[in-house]
Amino acid sequence: MNTLFSLFLFFIGLPVVLMVALHWFRRQRSMRNRIEFGFKCFLILCACIAIFTTIGIVLSVLFEAIRFFQIVPLTDFLFGLEWSPQTAIRADQVGSSGAFGAVPLFTGTFLITLIAMVIAVPLGLLSAIYLSEYASSKVRAIGKPVLEILAGIPTVVYGFFAALTVAPLIRNHASGFGFDVASESALAAGLVMGIMILPFISSLSDDVINAVPQALRDGSLGLGATHSETIKRVVLPAAFPGIVGSILLAISRAIGETMIVVMAAGLAANLTANPFHSVTTVTVQIVTLLVGDQEFDSPKTLAAFALGITLFVITLVLNVIALKVVKKYKEQYD
């Protein structure tokens, strides 16, 4: 299928494109026009690379995912409760083990994302409000760059910190209270991910809050509202759609985040909602399945692509909605 496609591309598609381009090229009168026409073609080609990338992602990941679903039925993948890809390595067991149920991965991803958002949304929103509405210019001059540094730290650093510092801390403290805590608890990964997302939410909502016109604030203050009453009753409701958009973008980011969970969350696909237990996520499994030697005909490798297309679709839907909401919101106050 792949070779057929490329044959088509090289022997039919390419000459057609070249001939059309040549035709247009000949129609340009002067040499300068011809050069400029070539220049413009180059620009268009570069702009199209964005499209090619998307098509590339969809096609490549989709092709492998389709091959996976020929071995493991889609319903088993989407609704199966058990995930243990390693058992399916042996050839005689391919597809028959039924161990490609991705539900525990989805719940694990959801649990960690939830913990991250519980931390990041209030902290991010409140610090954005504080920085843009209350802080003196001196505090702002320190606070904003500090949050930007937090956003610029590579995720592998957060992962290291989560695994080596935060997780043992939680484990020691929580077992003091009689909780049974796994060394790779969802809580540790979620907590650190929350801190990673915090500056993302705070800078996005900062933009959104600043887009609320000063006239609305003046209207509220002029009626004798206190500053916090103005923020809570006028600014935040007015900024609500924009804030929802930012939160959706942040969720998409948390779902797609890889390094923190690879290093701090577990590998075992447990179906649990207990934040002290170990869970695994979609991204962790993609990495685990693909690190090491890959055979492109074993369902173990192909499963990674099935997970990849799921991840792509979910984050794409979230992004499309979020970008639309934010765009509409910004237009409202332009």
Backbone angles phi, psi at 153, to 5 degrees: -70, 130
C-alpha to C-alpha distance for 68 and 299, rounded to whole angstroms: 6
Q: How far is the CB of 206 from other proteins (least distance, A)?
A: 12
Which stretch, 82-90, 172-180, 222-230, 270-278, contacts other proteins (CB under 8 A)? 222-230
| Helix, strand or coil, per DSSP, at residue 178 | coil
Q: Which DSSP category does 62 fall into?
A: H
Listed in sequence order, the DSSP H helices in 89-211 are: 103-129, 137-152, 155-161, 167-176, 186-210
Q: Which is nearer to other proteins, 92 or 152 (CB)?
A: 152
Which stretch, 107-115, 119-127, 181-189, 266-274, contacts other proteins (CB under 8 A)? 119-127
Contact with other proteins (CB under 8 A): which of 75, 93, 96, 165?
165
Q: Is 130 in the site for other proteins (CB under 8 A)?
A: yes
Q: Is 199 in the site for other proteins (CB under 8 A)?
A: yes
Q: Which is nearer to other proteins, 89 or 156 (CB)?
A: 156
Q: Which residues contact 82 (CB under 8 A, 6 or more apart)?
A: 98, 99, 101, 104, 269
**Binders of other proteins in range 58-87 (CB under 8 A):** 60-61, 63-64
Contact with other proteins (CB under 8 A): which of 167, 189, 209, 234?
234
Contact with other proteins (CB under 8 A): which of 138, 215, 331, 334?
215
Q: Is 32 in the site for other proteins (CB under 8 A)?
A: yes
Q: How far is the CB of 52 from other proteins (least distance, A)?
A: 9
Q: How many residues in the shown chain lie near other proteins by CB under 8 A?
A: 107
Distance set, CA 318 to CA 4, 52, 325 (Å): 34, 21, 11
C-alpha to C-alpha distance for 193 and 66, rounded to whole angstroms: 32
Compute how many other C-beta atoms are within 10 angstroms of the C-beta atom of residue 300.
20
| Helix, strand or coil, per DSSP, at residue 83 | strand
Q: How far is the CB of 106 from other proteins (least distance, A)?
A: 15
Contact with other proteins (CB under 8 A): which of 107, 109, 283, 298?
283
Contact with other proteins (CB under 8 A): which of 85, 101, 104, 159?
159
C-alpha to C-alpha distance for 94 and 109, rounded to whole angstroms: 26
Q: How far is the CB of 104 from other proteins (least distance, A)?
A: 19
Q: Is 251 in the site for other proteins (CB under 8 A)?
A: no
Q: Which DSSP category does 100 fall into?
A: B
Q: Which is nearer to other proteins, 119 or 279 (CB)?
A: 119
- Tokens representing residue 282 in the block: 């979609």
Which stretch, 14-22, 96-104, 130-138, 179-187, contacts other proteins (CB under 8 A)? 130-138
Q: Is 266 in the site for other proteins (CB under 8 A)?
A: no
Contact with other proteins (CB under 8 A): which of 68, 101, 204, 253?
253
Contact with other proteins (CB under 8 A): which of 187, 247, 286, 325?
286
Listed in sequence order, the DSSP H helices in the chain are: 2-8, 14-27, 31-71, 74-79, 103-129, 137-152, 155-161, 167-176, 186-210, 214-222, 227-230, 236-256, 259-264, 282-290, 299-332
Q: Is 258 in the site for other proteins (CB under 8 A)?
A: yes
CA 285 centroid distance within chain: 15
Q: Is 51 in the site for other proteins (CB under 8 A)?
A: yes
